[in-house]
């Protein structure tokens, strides 16, 4: 475990040391959860946004299956049309 010193700046912002940002892949705009331990200490943990996590997973699956974004969109259009036909179209 390492110890780093950070300073609270105007408007309450702090800067994470560059070595920690690099180590954990932290980028501008990342969201963190701050937990007040109640004894004067805090725990700061990165919180991956659900949309980003799911988008990353879709990209992984497309890559694993050798599919392109166009393949995905074409399939979605086909599935949407089939769903509409089954649930809303009148016979």
Q: What was the pLDDT predicted at 74? A: 93
Q: Per-residue pLDDT tens for 5-35? A: 889 999 999 999 999 889 888 888 888 999 9
Q: Contact, 33 vs 45, CB < 8 A?
A: yes
Q: What was the pLDDT predicted at 79? A: 95
Q: Per-residue pLDDT tens for 24-71? A: 888 888 889 999 999 999 998 888 777 777 888 899 999 999 999 899
Q: What was the pLDDT predicted at 35? A: 92
Verdict on whether the full-model pTM lies above 0.75: no
CA 59, CA 70: separation in Å to the nearest integer? 13
């Amino acid at each position: 475990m390492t110890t780093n010193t950070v300073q609270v700046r105007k408007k309450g912002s702090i800067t994470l040391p560059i070595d920690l940002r690099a180590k954990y892949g932290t980028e501008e705009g990342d969201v963190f959860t701050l937990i007040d331990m109640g004894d004067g200490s805090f725990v700061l943990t990165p919180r991956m946004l659900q949309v980003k996590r799911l988008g990353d997973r879709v990209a992984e699956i497309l890559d694993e299956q050798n599919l392109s974004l166009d393949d995905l969109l074409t399939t979605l259009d086909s599935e949407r049309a089939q769903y509409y036909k089954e649930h809303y179209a009148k016979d």
